[in-house]
């Protein structure tokens, strides 16, 4: 998708453009974004060209008119967690700050294709969180009541209705019977690559620089302010620096001279061979630590919890397959007959309260966006919106106000360890 700087397209995609290009054998399409060499200085440098970093850049331009921005990425655009997740989108969180930022993200997702002029394949197919213990029943009913107060539409559904909604499910499992569920009709999925590509195209059209294969090797500071970042493509000065690098956030913070309350762990997922449509909901089964949806190509997308130890692996393991699948098979017997197509891992950034960090830092003009754990994809538009306001104004707006670093010092935790479940 990258190109030379002269070949970027700012035209609109439309049915008429498709017809026009079909008439000339599609020879007129231009690259979606440029791949320029970095300048010596930018007003804002964003480290991390994943969904959150690109969304931050986009809303800096759209909401605040700041377009002198470089988004730098050590690998390829969207090649980190954005390209490695399972695309679940929901906003049915327990705590008020969480529900607010995730529902903002969901509302932005609902119109994101039109906003970016790029089809992100948003599919509001509905999301169901299964209650398979009495403890979960109480917890999810509590979440329904909290969501009603937050004006987030969710409902409690019975096992009988779940069976009607999802015929492939076994609700009478001896170990894990389905006792009901927390259902959000507006939840669903989107295409992870398309979200990154759509934001990248829009950022490039505004004149921002997306610089790939450009690893940050050091961060220069002085008098409590950032001066420049040293990269594989040279030294880049900046007035403000935003660190949006998920599992590598603690590594970046150390380069700037401060620490973050972050643990990095691998999160694994897998997909089956394609089968005919049989699961038109997103299913989360937190008791057995597994979740399931079906892709547009027919693959069963399956995942579970994080590895039980800190690591930076982006690979799968047989242990994960066994632990995740053996419990899901009782609830979804048809999975036992499928072959695995592929498996992968991503590096997630976990905080103690399982809530994100959008915050100023001990270095005056460095801002950090991290701690989304295993649920970062669903938050991308809301995260970018809130982070852009933080960077532009130098202080958090309403969406980010509760997610500062100072909450760990003051004991103001936003505990989503239960509502997050497997945190997807």
**Residue 24, Cβ density class (10 Å: 0-12 exposed, 13-18 middle, ≥19 buried):** exposed
Average pLDDT over residues 121-134: 96
| Predicted local confidence at residue 173, as pLDDT | 86
Q: Is 111 part of a structural domain of the chain?
A: no
- Confirm whether 106 is domain-assigned: no
pTM, entire model: 0.94
- Asked whether residue 12 carries a pLDDT value surpassing 70, the answer given is yes
| Closest to 269 measured CA to CA, from 77, 81, 53 | 81
Q: Give 412's DSSP letter.
A: -
pLDDT > 70: percent of the chain: 96
Which string of DSSP letters, residue by residue, matches 152-169? ---EEE-HHHHHHH-TT-
The residue among 207, 175, 187, 212 whose CA lies nearest residue 65 is 207
CATH number, domain with residue 183:
3.30.9.10
Q: What is the pLDDT of residue 306?
A: 86
Tens digits of residue pLDDT in 24-82: 999 888 889 998 999 999 999 999 999 999 999 999 999 999 999 999 999 999 999 99
Specify the 3-state DSSP secondary structure of 310.
strand
Between these two residues, 326 and 165, which has the higher pLDDT value? Answer: 165
Task: Give me the pLDDT at residue 10, please.
Answer: 59
Starting at the edge strand found earlier in the chain, the sheet holding 282-285 runs 155-157, 180-184, 127-131, 282-285, 290-294, 300-310, 263-272, 340-350
pLDDT above 60 for 2: no
Tokens 């960090």 found at: 357
pLDDT tens readout for residues 135-146: 999 999 999 999
Q: What is the pLDDT of residue 285?
A: 92
Asked if the structure places residue 44 within a domain, the reply is: no
User: Looking up tokens 């019975």, which residue turns up?
Assistant: 158
Per-residue pLDDT at 191 exceeds 70: yes
In a domain, residue 167? The reply is yes
The DSSP bridge pattern shows strands 263-272 and 234-243 to be: unpaired
Q: For residue 22, with 0-12 CB atoms within 10 Å meaning exposed, 13-18 middle and 19 or more buried, which class applies?
A: exposed
Does 284 map to a domain? yes
Which residues contact residue 263 at a Cβ distance below 8 angstroms, ignoring those fewer than 6 apart? 310, 349, 350
For the stretch 248-280, pLDDT in tens is: 999 999 999 999 999 999 999 999 999 999 999
What's the pLDDT at 3? 39
Residue 101's closest CA among 113, 86, 90, 115? Answer: 90
Q: State the residue range of the domain holding 338.
A: 124-187+264-350
The radius of gyration computed from the CA coordinates of the chain, to the nearest angstrom, equals: 21
Q: How many residues does the chain have?
A: 424
**Closest of 340, 330, 398 to residue 104, by C-alpha:** 398
- Nearest CA among 73, 369, 21, 313 for reference residue 216: 73
Strand segments (E) across 212-335: 216-222, 225-231, 234-243, 263-272, 282-285, 290-294, 300-310
Report whether pLDDT(182) > 50: yes
> Which residue, chain included where needed, has tokens 């509760």?
402
Whether residue 153 has pLDDT greater than 90:
yes
Separation between Cα atoms, residue 179 and residue 181, nearest integer Å: 7
Q: Is residue 314 part of a domain?
A: yes
Q: How confident is the model at residue 424 (pLDDT cuts 50, 70, 90)?
A: low
pLDDT tens track for 212-236? 999 999 999 999 999 999 999 999 9
Secondary element (H or E) of residue 145: helix 134-150
What is the pLDDT averaged over residues 192-210?
A: 97
Query: Which two structure tokens, joined as six digits, stand for 122?
Result: 């948003």
Place of tokens 């933080």: 390
Q: Could you tell me the pLDDT band of residue 209, with boundaries at 50, 70 and 90?
A: very high
User: Does residue 108 fall inside a structural domain?
Assistant: no
Residue 45: inside a domain: no
Q: What is the pLDDT of residues 294-306, one digit of tens each?
A: 999 999 999 988 8
State yes or no: pLDDT of 326 exceeds 90: no
Q: How confident is the model at residue 117 (pLDDT cuts 50, 70, 90)?
A: very high
Nearest in space to 335 (alpha carbons), one of 297, 290, 375, 305 = 290
Q: Find the helix or strand (DSSP H, E) in which 408 lies.
A: helix 406-410
pLDDT band at residue 339 using 50, 70 and 90 as cut-offs: very high
Q: Is the pLDDT of residue 359 over 80?
A: yes
Taking the C-alpha atoms of residue 262 and residue 241, their distance in angstroms, rounded to an integer, is 19
Of the candidates 208, 195, 192, which has an alpha carbon nearest to the alpha carbon of residue 64? 208
Alpha-carbon distance values, 396 to 42, 93, 150, 368, 399 (Å): 22, 21, 21, 11, 8
Total domains in the fold of the chain: 1
List the structure tokens of 125.
């197919």
Q: What is the mean pLDDT of the chain?
A: 93
């Amino acid at each position: 998708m990258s190109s030379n700087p002269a070949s970027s397209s700012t035209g609109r995609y439309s049915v008429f453009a498709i017809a026009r290009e079909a008439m000339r054998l599609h020879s007129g399409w231009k690259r979606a974004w440029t791949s320029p060499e970095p300048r010596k200085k930018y007003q804002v440098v964003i480290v991390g060209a994943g969904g959150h970093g690109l969304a931050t850049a986009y809303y800096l331009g759209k909401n605040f008119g700041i377009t002198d921005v470089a988004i730098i990425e050590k690998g390829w655009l969207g090649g980190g967690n954005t390209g490695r997740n399972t695309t679940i989108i929901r906003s049915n969180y327990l705590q008020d700050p969480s529900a607010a930022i995730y529902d903002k993200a969901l509302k932005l997702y609902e119109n994101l294709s039109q906003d970016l002029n790029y089809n992100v394949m948003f599919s509001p197919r509905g999301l169901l969180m299964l209650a398979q213990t009495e403890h979960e029943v109480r917890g999810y009913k509590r979440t329904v009541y909290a969501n009603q107060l937050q004006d987030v539409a969710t409902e409690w559904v019975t096992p009988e209705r779940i069976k009607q909604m999802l015929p492939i499910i076994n609700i009478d499992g001896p170990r894990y019977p389905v006792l009901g569920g927390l259902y959000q009709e507006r939840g669903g999925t989107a295409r992870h690559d398309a979200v990154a590509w759509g934001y990248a195209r829009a950022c490039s059209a505004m004149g921002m620089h997306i610089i790939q294969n450009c690893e940050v090797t050091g961060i220069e500071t002085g008098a409590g302010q950032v001066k420049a970042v040293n990269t594989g493509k040279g030294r880049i000065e900046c007035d403000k620096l935003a660190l949006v690098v998920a599992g590598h956030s603690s590594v970046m913070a150390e380069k700037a001279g401060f620490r973050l309350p972050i643990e990095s762990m691998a999160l694994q997922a897998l997909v089956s061979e394609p089968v005919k449509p049989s699961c038109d909901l997103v299913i989360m089964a937190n008791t057995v630590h597994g979740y399931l949806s079906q892709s547009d190509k027919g693959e069963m997308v399956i995942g579970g919890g994080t590895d039980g130890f800190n690591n930076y692996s982006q690979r799968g393991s047989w242990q994960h397959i066994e632990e995740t699948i053996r419990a899901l098979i009782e609830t979804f017997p048809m999975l036992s007959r499928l072959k695995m197509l592929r498996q992968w891992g991503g590096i997630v950034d976990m905080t103690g309260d399982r809530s994100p960090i959008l915050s100023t830092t001990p270095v005056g003009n460095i801002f950090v966006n991290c701690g989304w754990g295993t649920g970062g994809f669903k938050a991308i538009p809301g995260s970018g919106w809130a982070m852009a306001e933080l960077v532009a104004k130098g202080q958090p707006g309403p969406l980010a106000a509760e997610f500062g670093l100072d909450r760990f010092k003051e004991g103001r935790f936003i505990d989503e360890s239960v509502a997050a479940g497997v945190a997807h």
